[in-house]
Structure 1
Amino acid sequence: MAKRAERPGDPIKLIGLLWKPTEAVSRSGLTPRRVTDAAIAVADAEGLDALTIRRIAGDLGVSPMALYPHVAGRAELIELMLDAVAAEVYATGPPPAEAATWRARIERVAQANWDHHMAHPWTVDVAPGRPVPGPGVSGKYEAELVALDRLGLGDIEMDQTLTAVLGLVSSAARGVISMRRVWQESSLTDVQWWESVAPALAAAMGGVSYPIAQRVSTTVGETTGMSTDPEGAFRLGLDMLLDGLAHRIK
């Protein structure tokens, strides 16, 4: 089980790292971007649990001490990683604001963030807190707000709507990523796992019946092959959210 990564404690130092990075090559041949890219590669492949200063230094062929002129520690490195991958979300393809309708714009925002989490699963493991926005995160936020602008929403409603969309995406993405990790660690599919525990569960329940829960869970399992369907919930939830928004902005 992946641990939730903590946020760094010194926001002032982090602001300097994010907004005023030096790209001068040190004697070790490193730059902050090269260190960040190496860290992203490790996290994408193995998760944040594998991310240590020693590991990154080894991959770069330098001593751990050679990294500290560029990053103060692991927590700060993760912030640089988050900002770097945030800058990629709308780097390819047309921006959300160019979609033909307001609904298509928001759907593009949601899909881009879904793809972002699937490409970088470790992003769902970073604990919420008071993130310091760097240029990547700030540019992403601006692109997403443009998609919501001029719909008749107030500024607070725009931010809340975006938060609702991104929260729906990240919650469902976390569910999918968690399930994939379980599958990687187990030799059983969800259906096989339930079949293996069903007799013991039935005996423990002692004849207690939950007919609607049994009907629904059976349908989900037979239809999707999974105990739950986070991606399906994301798609349906987004449609329902946008249907509600359509009534609000009439």
Structure 2
Amino acid sequence: MAEQAQALRRTPLSRDRVLRAAVALADQAGIESFSMRSLAQDLGVVPMALYKHVANKDELLDGMIDVVVGEIDPPRPGPGWQPVLRARILSAREVLLRHPWAPLAIEARNQATPAVLDYLNTMVGILRDGGFSTDLAHHVMHAMGSRMLGFSQELFDDSRRAGRSGAADPTPPADFPAEAAARFPHLAAIATAASHDDTSVVGQGCDDQFEFEFALDLLLDGIERLRQQGWTSSGPHGSIR
């Protein structure tokens, strides 16, 4: 093992090696104690050597997120949109269970990374291919929120939100650049699919009163349906499909 570690340390640095080493270190030590210095020490190099491959810690974190998101299984064609979407979300959850620091890192970014945008773009594509209008797909993305990425944001868990510089909105800004729109057409379509009342916006992004009530009513309707079915977590309907 010691010889393997020494051989790895002698391997020339590359951006991919730096990012994967960073992910492994964050898996082991957590994102709170993660630093460029600790990563350099783990790789057996001086900290300045890292800056040949990443400009700063923010770029490093973005790259780490993209490595993690890249582990999510691609969509598997199926007879309907629901099992396809469900399988991919569960795959994302499995990935995040392997990298428990990732949800906090994703939430803390001011902008979604390219891999996150690509992932969300394909998720909107699944909805659109399943017969959803851009308007309905827009609101479904809001209702799902971070669950689209395999986790749910905890409203009262302040420890997860400590030090956040801003939450990543699951949909892009309305002024989607033309270049990005060409690369992520489904996201660009829903970015302008609905207007929002700026006077009722809570926080960043599109979280206005309409979005809140849409998500609330959607959840309540689902809960009522389960109530009528006599659903219990240990019963035959414990898994919703």
1: CA distance, partners of 2:155 / 2:98: 12
1:125 to 104, 109, 114: 104
Tell me the secondary structure at the aligned position of residue 113 of structure 2.
Answer: coil
TM-score, normalised via structure 1 length: 0.52
Name the CA distance, whole Å, in 2 between partners of 1:88 and 1:35.
17
Picking from 131, 141, 149, the partner of 1:162 is 141
- Aligned partner of 2:81 in structure 1 is 102
Give the letter for the 1:35 counterpart.
V
- Answer whether contact 1:71 1:77 (CA < 8 A) is retained: yes
Deviation at 1:71, TM superposition (A): 1.2
SS in 2 for 1:56: helix
Map of 2:27 onto structure 1: 44
Q: 1:36: how far off?
A: 0.3
The structure-2 alpha-carbon separation of the partners of 1:34 and 1:99, relative to structure 1 and needing over 3 Å to count, comes to same
| Contact residue 69 and residue 92 of structure 2 kept, 8 A | no
CA contact (8 A) 2:127 2:137 kept: yes
TM-fit CA distance, 1:105: 1.8
Shift of 1:142: 3.0
Q: CA RMSD, aligned part only?
A: 3.3
Cα deviations by residue, 1:51-82 (Å, 9 ceiling, x for unpaired):
11111111111101110111122222111111
Query: Following superposition of structure 1 onto structure 2, how do residues 57-68 of structure 1 map, counting pairs within 5 Å?
Result: 57-68=40-51
Aligned partner letter, 2:45: V
Q: What is the aligned partner in structure 1 of residue 36 from structure 2?
A: 53
Task: Please give the secondary structure, in 1, of the residue aligned with 2:129.
Answer: coil
Residues 72 and 162 from structure 1, CA distance in 2 versus in 1: closer, same or farther, beyond 3 angstroms? same
Match of 1:188 in 2: none
Q: For residues 174 and 109 of structure 1, do their structure 2 counterparts lie closer, same or farther at Cα, with a shift above 3 Å needed?
A: farther
Aligned to 1:88: 71
Asked whether the 8 Å contact 2:73–2:92 carries over to 1, the reply is no
Tell me if structure 1 keeps the 8 A contact 2:19–2:60. Answer: yes
* Cα gap change, 1:129 to 1:163, in 2 (>3 Å): farther
Rounded to whole Å, the distance in 2 between the matches of 1:38 and 1:56 is 7
Distance 1:28 1:174, change over 3 A: farther
- CA distance in 1 between counterparts of 2:78 and 2:87 reads 8
Matched residues in 1 for 2:132 and 2:46: separation? 52
Alignment partner of 2:126 out of 133, 137, 147: 147
Question: Can you list the C-alpha shifts for 1:81-139, whole angstroms capped at 9, x where unaligned?
Answer: 11121121125xxx24x1222221221132122212212111121234531432x2233
AA aligned opposite 1:165: M
Distance 1:145 1:48, change over 3 A: same
State the AA in 1 paired with 2:16: R
The percentage of aligned residue pairs carrying the same residue is: 27
Question: Counterparts in 2 of 1:219-238, with a 5 A limit?
Answer: none
**What residue in structure 2 maps to residue 24 of structure 1?**
none
User: Per-residue displacement from partner, 1:130-179 (whole Å, max 9, x unpaired)?
Assistant: 31432x22331233122212344222431331343242442268999x89
Report the TM-score when normalising by structure 2.
Answer: 0.54
Aligned equivalents of 1:57, 1:64: Cα separation in 2? 5
Aligned to 1:240: 222
Give me the whole-angstrom Cα distance separating, in 2, the residues matched to 1:40 and 1:62.
Answer: 17
Question: Which segment drifts farther, 125-134 or 45-54?
Answer: 125-134
5+ residue gaps, structure 2, are 1-9, 161-218, 227-241
